[in-house]
Amino acid sequence: KRVFPLEPKSPLTVNIKLGETQEINQTLLQAQSFYKTRNSLNEMSPSVKILFSLFALAGKLIQSSAFIPAVFTENKKLFIFWNSLSASSELKADILKFASSLTKDFFLPVEKWGRLYCAELLLTAFLTEYAASLKFFPNKSYTKDKEIDKLFFLNEEIARSVPGKRNLDTVIYS
């Protein structure tokens, strides 16, 4: 049974209502672009306000370089997710404030897992999608390092069963 609720290479999506009968499904990063033209919070639903809070907090984490890789292993494969780093008391307070605004209407798992964990999941989903969207790839990377670069920056996976990679998760954390 899966322990971590996010799926590698499968970004979280939101349903955006475009009136009474039409709705679109977008990833968090796509939704951020979609909502960039909106500037009046007064006309927004409570769920959209929470989404805006997520975008603002994620933007602050990105500007502060306050996100770190987190290793996830499953079925002898290794993946990287990007987690928020709440080292400063200000960022920690911002994450707690965002968590307190979450509702089950916005993100159903809040009822089961609690607000703080769900806030961290949403930030992880956004930051992971953001990191992959950068498509960063060093020009002068050694051939053997390209697989590691893809792991971190292109949302790829690595088989841990290959000799020389069995302890890769431990090496990344060191």
29-38 as b/e, with b when 16 or more CB fall inside 10 Å? bbbbeebeee
In a domain, 35, yes or no: yes
pLDDT value of position 163: 66
Number of domains in the chain: 1
For 131, residues 6+ apart whose C-beta sits below 8 A from its C-beta are 67, 82, 152, 153, 155
In a domain, 133, yes or no: yes
pLDDT value of position 64: 93
pTM equals: 0.85
Are residues 36 and 29 in contact, defined by beta-carbon separation less than 8 angstroms? no
Cα distance between residue 154 and residue 113, in whole Å: 29
Are residues 165 and 159 in contact, defined by beta-carbon separation less than 8 angstroms? yes
Please write the tens of the pLDDT for every residue from 69-114: 988 888 888 888 999 998 789 999 999 999 999 999 999 999 999 9
Cα distance between residue 58 and residue 147, in whole Å: 27
Q: Give me the residues of the chain with pLDDT under 50, please.
A: 1-2
In a domain, 49, yes or no: yes
The three-state secondary structure class of 84 is strand
pLDDT value of position 1: 46
Range of the domain at 68: 13-173
